[in-house]
Amino acid sequence: MKKVTMMDIAMEANVSKTTVSMVINNRDGNISEETRQKILKIAEKLNYIPNSVARSLSTKKSGTIGIILPDITNPFFSEMARAIEDGANNLGYNVIFCNTDNEESKEEKYTTLLVSKLVDGVIFISGGESSRSIDILKNNNVPFVVVDRPIKNNNDYYGIYCENKDGVKEGIKYLISKNKRKIAFVKGPKELENARERFCGYKEVMEEYKIYDKSLVFNSDFTIEGGITVTEEIIERTPDIEAIFYSNDMMAYGGIKFLIRNGYKIPEDVGVIGFDNIGISKFVEPELTTISQPIYDMGKEACKLLISIINGDNIPENRIYFSTELIIRDTV
Ligand code: RIB
């Protein structure tokens, strides 16, 4: 069964293929309304679908933007993807989602694929260093916006981020206001700049209050399983810990599970704070106190910024930082 073509429509409408092309691509030309309607009716009857690849080649525009996401299983990124898709659709663009599982090789493969598909631009959320992927975009003059995770030479790129350091500082000061002093900090992946910024916020406040103790700093990986494992390590090393600040909500869920399973009361025995405020955090039991990132607003702004770049608009500043917000629930 071959694909319906413009020639099929031309044959049935008894007009030239050029006439069909003018009508399908909405180009002006002295074509009567009667002929236009006849061609459109036949195209609908035959279920004709224009060849978008052919159109991209001729117009050098695909009306599509690509999104590189590091971990679609983490609701932070699916919520971000939702916002980007809404923003793109509102501005007349389609989206292609690429999930890289934080793997550099997959990230480069997908970046290359998006370039080959002639996307008009890319929203890029890094899984690590990403320098090769960024070079692929730059060398092919594909407009892109970095979101959420700053990458090396960050000053050269358009970017949308949250105030990671200030967000953690507010959370730690809140714990201190609740008379928590032995506060452990669980870092995200060391290769991520935003994870490092969050740790800096913790260290600065703990030093300000003269209670910084590097033995209370732990490494993990932004996953629930990582949160469970690291909380076991924290409790083994410091059974009298008073609070734990997790660098994202998913690790905090793991921590809550381990603490409750081992007889700890939250918040009476151990206070818990997360970072992100993804949708589930108000439904877990106890409901998670966390530092909220404006995920939806960041996604929509990233989309708006990218399409402005594609359109050649004047961009006043190339990095936009969104404030975070302390969301007080039941775990502190
Ligand atoms: O939960 C995933 C984390 O990775 C979030 O904190 C977000 O900032 C992303 O970088």
pLDDT given for residue 254 in this prediction: 98
Q: What is the pLDDT of residue 58?
A: 62
Residue ranges with strand state E in 38-93: 64-69
186 within ligand 1 shell (Cβ under 6 A): no
117 contact partners, CB below 8 Å, separation of at least 6: 56, 62, 64, 66, 96
Pick from 163, 143, 211: which is nearest to 324 by CA?
A: 163
**Contact 222 CB / ligand 1 (< 6 Å):** yes
The predicted structure's pLDDT at residue 56 = 64
Please state at what angle helix 17-24 crosses helix 33-45, rounded to 10 degrees: 90
Is the distance from the beta carbon of residue 126 to the nearest atom of ligand 1 less than 6 Å? no
Among residues 174, 173, 172, 162, which one has the least CA distance to residue 328? Answer: 174
Question: Is 259 touching ligand 1 by the criterion CB < 6 Å?
Answer: no
Q: The whole model's pTM is what? A: 0.86
Contact 148 CB / ligand 1 (< 6 Å) = yes
97: helix, strand or coil? strand
CA of 76 to the centre of ligand 1 (A): 6
Q: Whose CA is nearest to atom 6 of ligand 1?
A: 248
Q: Which run of H or E residues covers position 219?
A: strand 217-219
Pocket flag, ligand 1, residue 74 (CB < 6 Å):
yes
Q: Containing H/E element for 195?
A: helix 193-208
Residue 317: predicted pLDDT? 83
Q: What does the pLDDT look like over 15-62, one tens digit per residue?
A: 999 899 889 888 777 889 999 999 999 999 998 988 776 666 666 678
Low-confidence ranges of the chain (pLDDT < 70): 53-60, 154
| Ligand 1 pocket mutation pick from 248, 297, 298, 324 by most atoms within 8 angstroms of CB | 248
